[in-house]
């Protein structure tokens, strides 16, 4: 009888040991392992950094502000738009820059006057028309000064050489007194692609708050 009781006690003890071993094994498998001490970036930190980079690229990459500026007015407005919209800037640069004499429209023999009189001369070569990560942009602003009631023609080759399919295109212009005229419509016809919106003309004295108010009214973040 005593032997039976002793055997029963041994069996019970063995069962308890097996039960504890199984629980310990399960707890070990459910607990995340600690990153090695020489690894300064844990997997969780790596994922957070990647998400942060992606968000930055997405929010900063949705809006592009393209501009050609002859005297600096359009550049200033473009920079204000980029700041208000959280966008990136791309400057259209002619291979042969316009000098102040070139831009003297009161001189019938100046470069712009000759280009105005002879449309074939308006095919202005650019340093590049390619924008890095072009496909990432959903909204493209295009800015230019008004020359004789139309967009300054250095913009033309950029518009002709890019595909605006799937993009909202918003023209803006600067001038001392002239309005937008048909400039935006003519550019949209030249492009042949994109959802072109009504543009906005800014005077040379437009303030940063004027520009920011206009951008806010576009509802780009909504």
Q: What is the CATH number of domain 56-217?
A: 3.40.50.360
Residue 137 neighbours by CB distance under 10 Å? 21
Taking the model in full, what pTM does it have? Answer: 0.72
At 138-160, the pLDDT tens digits run 999 999 999 999 999 999 999 99
- For the chain, the domains span 56-217
**Cβ-count burial of 146 within 10 angstroms (0-12 exposed, 13-18 middle, 19+ buried)?**
buried
Q: Report the distance separating Cα 178 and Cα 137, nearest Å.
A: 30
The distance from CA 68 to its chain's CA centroid, rounded to whole angstroms, is: 18
Handedness of CA 73, 76, 82, 83 (dihedral sign): negative
Q: Report the distance separating Cα 158 and Cα 144, nearest Å.
A: 12
At 23-57, the pLDDT tens digits run 444 333 322 223 222 222 222 222 223 223 333 22
């Amino acid at each position: 009888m005593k032997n039976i009781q002793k055997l029963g006690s041994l069996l019970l003890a063995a069962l308890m040991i097996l039960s504890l071993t199984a629980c310990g094994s399960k707890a070990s498998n459910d607990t995340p392992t600690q990153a090695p001490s020489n690894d300064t970036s844990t997997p969780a930190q790596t994922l957070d950094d990647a998400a942060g980079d992606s968000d930055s690229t997405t929010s900063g990459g949705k809006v592009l502000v393209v501009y050609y500026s002859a005297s600096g007015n359009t550049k200033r407005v473009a920079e204000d738009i980029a700041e208000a919209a959280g966008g990136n800037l791309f400057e259209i640069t002619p291979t042969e820059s316009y000098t102040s004499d070139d831009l003297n429209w009161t001189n019938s023999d100046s470069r712009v006057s000759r280009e105005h009189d002879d449309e074939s001369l308006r095919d202005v070569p650019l340093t590049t028309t390619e924008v890095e990560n072009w496909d990432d942009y959903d909204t493209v602003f295009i800015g230019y000064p008004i020359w004789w009631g139309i967009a300054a023609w250095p913009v033309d080759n950029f518009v002709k050489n890019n595909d605006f399919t799937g993009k909202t295109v918003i023209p803006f212009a600067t001038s001392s007194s002239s309005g937008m005229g048909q400039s935006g419509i003519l550019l949209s016809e030249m492009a042949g692609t994109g959802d072109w919106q009504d543009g906005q003309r800014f005077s040379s004295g437009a303030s940063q708050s004027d520009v920011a108010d206009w951008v806010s009214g576009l509802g780009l973040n909504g």
